[in-house]
Copies of this chain bind each other. A is one copy, B any other.
């Protein structure tokens, strides 16, 4: 059979990885796909640098539109990132009747509904395994491997930078800012780390997973984002003393009231496997009504792991491109006319358990006041420990609550902060057992 021609837009780290994998594993890939998959044309503004990465057999151009408009290209790989020119290119490729493989989570989380609708009209595939959790085939697992299930929830460590920082903070007892500097030095964090450490990146990935898990449209605007930059080392340490690890978790759950869609630092019991996923590794824990809980773990970023996902999509698209579009795997797991626009719950309607740290000043009755305010707001206490002595003015009260709606906790916190016997703000972290 004739080879499949790939056009690659964006030849950076990952693009170089794709070229490497396609070349190095050419034999295995064609033994699997039944035909050769070859990189034909690639684009990067700096043509010389691209040529170094893709080798002499590939035509290199500066203008990515030459790639999407090239008549010989069967599948376009978009690795430019962002949602401006990348969006134009992807829509142009679709209009040209070309299949698209992309690692661009932002593009899909923000403009996915439009892109998939266009692809549907044109009968082309848009594959995006590399957009979530790098080399872990989690999109395929959710869309195909667990298709018998009513997915109840999923929770992921889906930002390697944040997980590296949290791991270091725990292991070294260090503060966020110091570990961030180390991560930047090692190349695990960008010069401007906002996108990673404030949860935006995880929110994009979570939005995509929620869509395919529940059969809902992409709605990143409704995703709650809270990052790790304000986390203090002492809360990680107290959590550990209580048997928990703190992870930046993207969590989406189907409830009677609506779909939870939230990214925030979360206490997880240390005996959960996902609590022990450290460093830059990613993991996604999925709860389905039939399968129970399955965990998928692996490298969430990097040139070759991401290329692994891109090239797997190329093999998939190659296999399915001759099938009639009605019998391919639907882009968002559910048939396009079967998406349901479920409500996303506002964060203060979410039910969770909580970790609270309260700075008590030297005054009798503070414990009685706090427990009374919690009780008045319907919050029951699972554990309570006092750190330090009230006598020297440095006492802290750490409380773990049972499950309760977030607005009740916010109300209780406001009342606690108003007590004369309490100083400063109450530290509030969410806690999830991730068990059933």
Which residues does A use to contact B, with CB under 8 Å?
A: 17, 21, 24-25, 28-29, 31-34, 129, 135-137, 140-141, 144-150, 215, 273, 276-277, 288-299, 302, 304-305, 307-312, 314-316, 319-324, 326-330, 333-335, 338
Q: A327 CA to B312 CA in the complex, in Å?
A: 15
Chain B residues with Cβ under 8 A from A315's Cβ? 144, 147-148
Report which residue of A135, A321, A322 has the largest number of chain B beta carbons within 10 angstroms of its beta carbon.
Answer: A135
Minimum C-beta distance from A90 to chain B (A): 21
With contacts A294-B297, A297-B273, A326-B34 taken as known, whether A150 is within 8 angstroms of B25 at the C-beta atoms is yes
How far, in Å, is A214 (CB) from chain B's closest CB? 9
Other-chain contact of A290, B25, B321, B324, B338 (Cβ < 8 Å): B25
Contact A135 B215, CB 8 Å, known A145-B141, A147-B33: no
CB distance from A49 to the nearest CB of B (A): 22
Instruction: Tell me the bound Cα distance from A321 to B327 in angstroms.
Output: 8
Known: A296-B297, A319-B327. 8 other contacts (CB 8 A): A29-B147, A32-B335, A147-B311, A147-B312, A290-B307, A291-B305, A292-B298, A296-B296
Closest approach, in angstroms, between the C-beta of A307 and any C-beta of chain B?
A: 6
Q: How far is the CB of A98 from chain B (nearest CB, A)?
A: 18
Q: Would B277 and A291 count as touching, CB distance under 8 A?
A: no
- Known contacts A140-B140, A322-B323, A299 near B304 by CB under 8 Å: no
**A307 and B34 within 8 A (CB):** no
Chain B contacts of A148 at CB under 8 A?
A: 21, 25, 29, 307-312, 314-315
The answer on a CB contact under 8 Å between A294 and B296 is yes
CB neighbours of A323 from chain B (8 A): 320, 322-324, 327
CA distance A299 to B287 in the complex (A): 11
Complex: how many Å from CA A294 to CA B147? 21
CB contact under 8 A between A299 and B292, given known A137-B146, A322-B324 = yes
What is the CA–CA distance of A315 and B314 in the complex, to the nearest angstrom? 22
Report B-chain residues with C-beta under 8 Å of the C-beta of A308.
146, 148-149, 288, 290-291
Q: Which residues of B contact A136 (CB under 8 A)?
A: 291, 294
Q: Which residue from B34, B137, B147, B328 sits with its C-beta under 8 Å from A141?
A: B137
Chain B residue numbers with a CB within 8 Å of A28 are 149-150, 215
Distance to closest chain B CB from A395 (angstroms)? 36
CB distance from A124 to the nearest CB of B (A): 16
How long is the Cα–Cα vector from A306 to B322 in the complex, in angstroms? 31
Check A21 against B140 for contact (C-beta < 8 Å).
no
A27 nearest CB across to chain B (Å):
9
